[in-house]
Each structure stands twice: as C-alpha cells, then as structure tokens.
Amino acid sequence: MRSMTGYSKVVFQNEDFVINLEIKSVNNKNFNLKIKVPYTLNFLENKIRAFVGKKIFRGSVDLKIDFEDKRVSENLFDYNKVLSDAYMEILNQMEIDYKDTFTSKLDLLVKNLNVIKRKDEEIDEEEYTSFIFEKLDVLLEKFIQMKSEEGLRLKEYFKERISFLEIKVEEIKTLQPKVVETYREKLLERLNSIRDDINFTEEDLLKEILLFTDKSDISEETSRLSSHLYELKKEIESEDKTLGKKIDFILQEIFRELNTTGVKSNFYEISKIVVDCKNEIEKIREQALNIE
C-alpha cells in the first residue's frame, strides 16, 4: 500500500553537469503528470512520462527538472564573421563617401547589427538520456519509499478501524434475536390494552409476529457485512495497482448494507451501532482517498 501524497528532491553536480530534480504529488482518482524541463531536454519528455507512468499509478504529480551542461555553457556565443566583414566594408565605404568617421564602427556593429548569436547547442542525446534517467531513477526510488512509509501508517490505521467494525457487527448479530422479542412484547402490550375493543386469536398474533420477523430479518445483511470486512482486510494487504479504487468500492458496499440493516431492524440499539459504524466508514473513506 502506498500513499498518493509524497515529495522527493535530488541535487547532483559533477564536472560536466548540474541537475536538480524535484517531484511531488497530491490526491487524484487518476494519474495526471505535469513535467517541466529545460528546452534542451524536450526530446526526452515522452520517455520521461512513460518512465514515471510505469512506477506511479494514481495522483496529480508535478515533476521539475533543472539541467545544465557546463561544457556547453563555457562557449555559448559566437559571431558571424562573414556578415561582420560585409558590414564593416559598408561602414568603411560610408566614411569615404560622406567624408566623416564613425566614433566606433565596432560598437555599432555589435550593438545594432546582431552579428553576435547564441550558438546552436549540439547535444549528445544518448549521453543526456543516460545521465537524466539515472538520476530520475534515484529520485523516484526516494519518492516511492516515502509514499510506501506513509502507506504503512495508513494500513495500520485501517486495521484498527476494521477491527472496530467487526466488533460492532458481532454486537448487531447478538442483538438480532432481541428485535423480534421486543416487538412481540410491545405488540402484546398494545393488544392487551385494547382487548375489550378488538378480537384476536393466538393465530393472528403468530401471523403478525412471523410477518415482522421476515421483514426485520437482517441475517443476510450482517453476513454480507462480515464478508465485506474480510475482503477489506485482504485488500489492504495486497499490492494491487488499483488498490485505492477497490477499497472505495468495498466501503460503498459496507455503507449500503449498514443502511439496510438500520432500516430493516427498526431497533434503537442496532440503529445506534449502525450510526457508529457509518462514522467509522467515513473516517476510512477519507483516508482511503490518499491510497495510490
């Protein structure tokens, strides 16, 4: 189990390269990766996206890579000698034609005629790829480690909450026989109070109790609740890539069974337990949103 939230940073420098990688993520039901790289690494963006996508499955992820090739930085600019010679020839000819001199033809050449240009950087794509992905792998390893550590804390939290729910479901099962018994006692009490106004037989009484027993039977619901809780415990121990979605689905099923249990039983003690269980489900669901 891994958390969807995490952060990691890697800074590295040698005689050739300077690199700063940073990654962070927050909750998202799908995988959404935003990448920011310098233009010299644009050719790697799709490969980076695929590489990260094989290791991270859900969440909004921001990846930033700052990269500098110091070898290129040392010789970034050059001037166009052919163009400069042509400009200088024209400037010299203008001095002859107009019988005047420029204060500094060189200043004019540099400032106004754009003869100095940034060099087109010739990069070794294979070398860049090898270096970038080596550091990216280190970054993701640290990132996933942090997410996994948080995932372990989430797992322990879920285990505690599930144990609480299992105890509550057993309490509901224990109270179930009292539902019919309580109804029978209240029915007899009401009937005895109006015995002089209405005629009824033991058979009528039995039919009414049997009808209520059938309507208030929650044995299937409690059985499914136990089954869902068992499945939930299994899932939190699994390494399934879609674990977060599966847990959310099981929680929905548990919530539905709790609703039905509360309505069918129509018994205060059980309804109270159902409310407690629903509160626990909401706590689990809130934390489950953070599972990758």
The predicted structure's pLDDT at residue 66: 95
Question: What domains are defined for the chain?
Answer: 6-72+125-147 (3.30.230), 77-118 (no CATH), 151-288 (no CATH)
In 10 A of CB 133, how many CB atoms? 14
CA neighbor of 10 nearest in space, from 145, 101, 105, 199: 145
pTM of the predicted structure, to 2 decimals:
0.65
The predicted structure's pLDDT at residue 216: 64
Strand order in the sheet with 6-13: 6-13, 17-26, 59-69, 31-36
Residue type, 33: L
CA neighbor of 131 nearest in space, from 284, 268, 10, 278: 10
Count of CA atoms in the C-beta half-sphere (13 A) of 66:
8
CA neighbor of 139 nearest in space, from 13, 21, 18, 52: 21
The predicted structure's pLDDT at residue 123: 65
Per-residue model confidence as pLDDT tens for the chain (292 residues): 888 999 999 999 998 899 999 999 998 888 999 999 998 889 999 999 999 999 998 899 999 999 988 776 555 567 778 888 888 898 899 889 888 888 888 887 777 667 776 565 566 788 999 999 999 999 999 999 999 999 999 999 999 999 999 999 999 988 887 766 665 666 556 656 655 555 655 665 666 656 655 666 788 888 999 999 999 999 988 877 678 788 889 999 999 999 988 887 778 888 899 999 999 999 998 898 888 8
Q: Token digits for 14?
A: 């040698």
Distance CA 247, CA 281 (A): 11
The answer to whether 258 and 278 are in contact (CB under 8 A) is yes
The predicted structure's pLDDT at residue 119: 60
The predicted structure's pLDDT at residue 288: 87
Return phi, psi of residue 101, to 5°: -125, 145
The predicted structure's pLDDT at residue 275: 94
The predicted structure's pLDDT at residue 147: 93
Distance CA 130, CA 209 (A): 78
